[in-house]
C-alpha cells in the first residue's frame, strides 16, 4: 500500500496494481511501517535492526561443553541484549541488535560481530559452522509496549504494532484482537494496550522527533556506543 485517502467513509488504498476500496483498514506493517503511511503513525515507532544466526546441529559433547542444560529461551542482562536458545534439532540460535541503517545491515561485519559474541559466550563453539543468518526491522514503541488500537474513533482505521523484538507469538494474538475490533467488538477490549495510542517518547522528544527526525539515527548511534560502554567496560 503506497498511500490511502478516505472519502465518504470509504478508504481508497493505492497499490502498484490498482486501487483497493475498503470499509476498514487494519495496519500490521511492523518495523516496515513507513513514515507516510498514516498520520497517526508518523514518528510513533522506532524501527530497529535485529540480527539472528543459527549454528549447524551441535553434538552432545558440544552442548555439554557449552553448559546448555535447558531448551528454554535465555537472555543476558546487557542493555544491548543477546537472546538465544537450543532449538529442538540441537542447533543454537542467537540474536542481538544489528546495524543502525538498512544500508549498512547486509555488511558482513554485523554477522561477524554476532558470531564473535557467540564465541565469547560459548568458547566451545569456535569454528562451528553457521547454517542460517538473517536480519530485519523490528517495531519498537517508545514505551516498549505494543498497541492494538483505533486511534481516531471517527475513522475505521486500526493498527496492531509495537512488539519490539517479541512479536512472533504476540502478533498472532494481536491479529485476532485486531480482527475482533474491526468486526465491531472493540468495546470488550479495555486494557491500556487497547485503549491508548502508540505514544510519542515525551514532549521534548516529540518536538525533536517531529523537527529532527532525520537526526534520530545519530542519537541511536551515540546510545549504542554508550550502552556498549556500560555493558562491556564500566
Least Cβ distance, residue 25 to ligand FAD (angstroms)? 10
DSSP β-ladder status, 45-55 and 92-97: antiparallel
DSSP β-ladder status, 83-86 and 92-97: antiparallel
Contact between 138 and ligand FAD by CB under 6 A: the answer reads yes
DSSP class of residue 84?
E
Query: Looking only at residues 164 through 193 of this chain, which bind ligand FAD when binding is defined by CB under 6 A?
Result: 165-169, 171
* Closer of 155 and 208 to ligand FAD (Cβ): 155
Contact 151, 159 (CB under 8 A): yes
Q: Which of 26, 136, 201, 219 binds ligand FAD (CB under 6 A)?
A: 136
Q: What are phi and psi of 185, to 5 degrees?
A: -110, 25
Contact between 28 and ligand FAD by CB under 6 A: the answer reads yes
Q: In what order do the strands lie in the sheet with 25-27?
A: 25-27, 157-161, 147-149
Contact between 134 and ligand FAD by CB under 6 A: the answer reads yes
Contact between 110 and ligand FAD by CB under 6 A: the answer reads no
* Closer of 54 and 66 to ligand FAD (Cβ): 54
* Closer of 179 and 229 to ligand FAD (Cβ): 179
* Closer of 168 and 233 to ligand FAD (Cβ): 168
Q: Which of 158, 163, 181, 194 binds ligand FAD (CB under 6 A)?
A: 163
Tell me the Ramachandran region of residue 31: left when phi exceeds 0, alpha when psi lies from -120 to 50, beta otherwise: alpha
Nearest position to ligand FAD, beta carbon? 167
Least Cβ distance, residue 231 to ligand FAD (angstroms)? 19
Contact between 140 and ligand FAD by CB under 6 A: the answer reads no
Contact between 26 and ligand FAD by CB under 6 A: the answer reads no
Alpha carbons 88 and 68: distance in angstroms, whole number:
13
> In whole angstroms, how far apart are CA 146 and each of 143, 157, 158, 190?
8, 17, 13, 14
Least Cβ distance, residue 172 to ligand FAD (angstroms)? 8
Size of the site for ligand FAD (CB under 6 A): 23
Question: Which strand (E) or helix (H) includes residue 180?
Answer: helix 167-180
- Nine-digit cell at 150? 483505533
Question: Which strand (E) or helix (H) includes residue 228?
Answer: helix 216-232
Residue numbers of the site for ligand FAD (CB under 6 A)?
Answer: 1, 28-32, 34, 37, 50-52, 95, 134-136, 138, 163, 165-169, 171
Amino acid at each position: 500500500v503506497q498511500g490511502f485517502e478516505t472519502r465518504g467513509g470509504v478508504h481508497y488504498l493505492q497499490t502498484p496494481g490498482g486501487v483497493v476500496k475498503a470499509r476498514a483498514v487494519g495496519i500490521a506493517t511492523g518495523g516496515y511501517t513507513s513514515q507516510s503511511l498514516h498520520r497517526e503513525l508518523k514518528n510513533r515507532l522506532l524501527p530497529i535492526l535485529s540480527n539472528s544466526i543459527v549454528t549447524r546441529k551441535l553434538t552432545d559433547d558440544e552442548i555439554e561443553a557449552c553448559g546448555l542444560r535447558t531448551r528454554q529461551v535465555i537472555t543476558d542482562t546487557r542493555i544491548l541484549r543477546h537472546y538465544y536458545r537450543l532449538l529442538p534439532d540441537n542447533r543454537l540460535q542467537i540474536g542481538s541488535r544489528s546495524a543502525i541503517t538498512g544500508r549498512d545491515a547486509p555488511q558482513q561485519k554485523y554477522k561477524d560481530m554476532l558470531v564473535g559474541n557467540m564465541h565469547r559466550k560459548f568458547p566451545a563453539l569456535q569454528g562451528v559452522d553457521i547454517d542460517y543468518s538473517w536480519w530485519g526491522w523490528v517495531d519498537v514503541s517508545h514505551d516498549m509496549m505494543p498497541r492494538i488500537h483505533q486511534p481516531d474513533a471517527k475513522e475505521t482505521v486500526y493498527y496492531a504494532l509495537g512488539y519490539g523484538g517479541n512479536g512472533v507469538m504476540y502478533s498472532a494474538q494481536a491479529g485476532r484482537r485486531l480482527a475482533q475490533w474491526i468486526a465491531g467488538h472493540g468495546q470488550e477490549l479495555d486494557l491500556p494496550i487497547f485503549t491508548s495510542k502508540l505514544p510519542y517518547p515525551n514532549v521534548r522528544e516529540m518536538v525533536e522527533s517531529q523537527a529532527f527526525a532525520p537526526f534520530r539515527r545519530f542519537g541511536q548511534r551515540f546510545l549504542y556506543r554508550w550502552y556498549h560502554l556500560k555493558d562491556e567496560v564500566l
